[in-house]
Amino acid sequence: MANLKPLDGIRVLDLTNVLAGPFCCHQLVHFGAEVIKVEAAGRGDLARQLGLDAQLNEKMMGVSFLAQNAGKKSVTVNLKHDAGKDLLKRLVATADVLVENFRPGVMDRLEVGYEKLKESNPALIYCAISGFGQDGPWTHRPAYDQIIQGASGVMSITGDADSAPLRVGYPIADTVGGMTAAFAISAALNAKPRGTFIDVSMLEAVMATMGWAISNHLIAGVAPQANGNENPTSAPSGAFKAADGLINIAANKDEQWKLLCEHIGREDLMTRPEFATREDRKTNRLALKAEIETALSSRPARDWAKELNKIGVPAGAVLTVPEVLEMPQIADRGFLARFEDVPGVDRDIEVVRTGVKLDGEAPAVHAPPPELGQDNETIWAELGLSGEEIAELKSKGTI
């Protein structure tokens, strides 16, 4: 079914900032939800001022904002004003979902927490994303992605013996937290009757993805270690030096091990007792790696990868971000969205969509990321406010 939009007709209020919450709502808008960013009057989402293009930051359309907010609408409101609280409650009455990522307790102190808002809409799905969850001894600690990476154990197992603990190279905690929230919201939308409070802990969301590492400790009694580019469960499995860079090879099965040895002209490795079994190869993995690299060093990584994949040995050159974006596998599958002459940016931009296709179609949105408050007139008028009332609220700093 072309252009399938499973969340058509669902209205989501996005009260979030920076990444975890916006990433959550980025998923929802691509699946058809109407997502309205409810931003702080005069300031907006902090991500509007973040990114590696200083001029866009000054325009309140920072790269970090553009990355996760295509297809959304934007209204502004000051929740410290009574009139602002009233506006939010009236908007909540029209919504199915509200997402926020303030510190626990902030929304309650503003008198617009879940208990208050469900008076306006008992069927409301309220999703609170926070670093550590809504209860527990760490609940009021400030949390950013790197804090969660460190607290979760991720940094302790990233890098190698010389470099660990090491931060993962992108905000994995924010994005995993946001994806977890989107999954929970989608599940809650299927409940009958609707109406629930979802508590997403970024810490727990990240640790839930670490099942293999954590279970080695819980079940096998082996504390996870930083293994660098080596896969500790098999050998040869990891990153190897070729003539021009690294190639990942995962010869995890005995037949793949044999095919690899034959293809690189090192059949002799199969006859050596220290490499006879999977366990032997794991024990002597560094010596094995050195032997394999002597053969791989004669040719480029991409050439080896193409040949090894052809014979059934999983392999792939280690690419940079610009390199992979140029590959047909990405460039030809609709993963990137292009918006022309974006208002507030005044140039064309490209941003990522989702990693999903539905019946062969990549879910897409047709509107670029919004300027701050660009939908104030329309959305507040839908609630019955006149042009004069909207103008007065604006003059008072309520919107």
CATH number, domain with residue 58: 3.40.50.10540
Task: Give which of 209, 182, 178 is closest to 47, Cα–Cα.
Answer: 178
pLDDT in single tens digits along all 399 residues of the chain:
445 699 999 999 999 999 999 999 999 999 999 999 999 999 999 999 999 999 999 999 999 999 999 999 999 999 999 999 999 999 999 999 999 999 999 999 999 999 999 999 999 999 999 999 999 999 999 999 999 999 999 999 999 999 999 999 999 999 999 999 999 999 999 999 999 999 999 999 999 999 999 999 999 999 999 999 999 889 999 999 999 999 999 999 999 999 999 999 999 999 999 999 999 999 999 999 999 999 999 999 999 999 999 999 999 999 999 999 999 999 899 999 999 999 999 999 999 999 999 998 999 999 999 999 999 999 999 999 999 999 999 999 999
Does residue 193 share a domain with residue 72?
yes
Does residue 358 share a domain with residue 312?
no
Question: Domain count of the chain?
Answer: 2
Task: Write down the H helix ranges in 128-228.
Answer: 145-152, 172-189, 202-208, 211-218
In angstroms, the first-to-last Cα distance of the chain is 40
Tokens 């005069």 -> residue: 42
The Cα 270–Cα 259 span in angstroms is: 10
Residue 175 lies in a domain: yes
Identify the domain containing residue 74 by its residue range.
11-209+332-395
pLDDT at 115: 96
Does residue 337 share a domain with residue 314?
no
Q: Which residues are catalytic?
A: 174
pLDDT at 202: 98
- Cα dist from 124 to 11, 50, 127, whole Å: 10, 31, 10
Does residue 139 share a domain with residue 113?
yes
* pTM exceeds cut of 0.75: yes
The Cα 199–Cα 118 span in angstroms is: 16
Contacts of 6 (CB under 8 A, 6+ apart): 31, 32, 358
Contacts of 101 (CB under 8 A, 6+ apart): 15, 16, 17, 18, 20, 21, 128, 129, 130
The Cα 270–Cα 266 span in angstroms is: 8
Rounded (5°) CA angle 41-44-49: 140
Residue 222 lies in a domain: no
Q: Which of 290, 318, 346 is the last residue of a domain?
A: 318
Residue 5 lies in a domain: no
